[in-house]
Amino acid sequence: MKIYISVDMEGLAGISMWQEVDPGNKQSIDLLQEHLKAVLDGLFDSGADISEVVISDSHSRGDNIPYGITKQYDRVKIVHGSLRKDFMMSGLNESFDRVFFIGYHAGIGCQNGIMDHTYSSSLVHNIWINGKRMNEAVINAAFAGYHGVPVALIVGDEMLKRELKDLFMGKYEYVVTKEGISRYAAIMKPITSVMSEIKQAVKKAVEIERHQLPLINFANPVELRVEFKDTSYADAVELMPGVERIDGRTVSLSHDQYPVVFNALMAMIYIASSIRNAR
């Protein structure tokens, strides 16, 4: 069984503010490693035949997971660094059996979602696909679904669980790390309880029959609509082939191949970021 793990940080236990997800913050890196250890211990103690695990370091610049973790787990590979195609899902293909999302968070505009955002809180005001407001979990799950790979486990905040309730149809495991009470405040569960829940959830996640797991797909043509926080970002993104300007801050793009839409969204974020940084 090949497992793909996409790792973000805002949804981890013990974190509620931006400075806590800075790669230079030792406490956050320690928390990240503790979450990953719980996931990997749960996997390799589950009794399942785990042939390979690929972990995508998917927060910010993709440089958060210490490479040394592979000393303890010799069947684990790390996707590290940026820029890279398919960013949060780099390296995923149809050979994987199931996907885990660790440290995921609610989408932008979600009340009481911890550090709510969708790819960029400073650049993007909203993202819709086929008319539905998106979060990163849905966008990335659909990329996995395009390759025929279902989602088996999500570790994240309470509000993300609520966002996914009517979107992820099937049987999967969800571990709640914290309950948001504002954008930058949460009620944190005891870390020992969270780690224990993760280990047990991982073992259950690999036992679920593959056909019972949620397989997320969007109907074609896939229409992406992005509302930026500044008209200058839309000015620049509008220059991309295939992009249409909807209004001052909003652009759209449609395509029959979801990976094209997925990477177009990443390109839009990078373009908008370059405009912000050039000021």
For residue 35, say whether it is annotated as part of any ligand binding site: no
Secondary structure in 3-state letters for 64-114: CCCHHHHHCCCCEEEECCCCCCCHHHCCCCCCCCEEEEEEECCCCCCCCCC
10 in a labelled binding site: yes
Residues forming a β-bridge with 126: 227
Q: Are 195 and 33 in contact (CB under 8 A)?
A: no
Question: ∠ CA(262), CA(263), CA(265), 5° rounding?
Answer: 70
Q: Cα–Cα distance between 35 and 33 in angstroms, integer?
A: 5
Is 136 a known ligand-binding residue? yes
> What are the start-end ranges of the H helices in 213-253?
231-237
Q: Which of 117, 125, 147, 211 is catalytic?
A: 117
Burial, 160: exposed, middle or buried (Cβ in 10 Å; 0-12, 13-18, 19+)?
A: buried
Residue 78 CA, distance from chain mean position: 16
Question: How many Å separate Cα 124 from the centre of its chain?
Answer: 16
φ/ψ of residue 265, rounded to 5? -60, -45
Q: Reply yes or no on whether 125 is catalytic.
A: no
The answer to whether 149 touches 21, Cβ cutoff 8 Å, is: no
Does 211 count as an annotated binding residue? no
Q: Compute the C-alpha angle 61/222/170, nearest 5°.
A: 80
Contact between 211 and 54 under an 8 Å Cβ cutoff? The reply is no
247 annotated as ligand-binding: no
Q: Give me the active site residues, please.
A: 117
Residue ranges at the known binding site for Zn(2+): 8, 10, 59, 105, 136
Residue ranges at the known binding site: 8, 10, 59, 105, 136
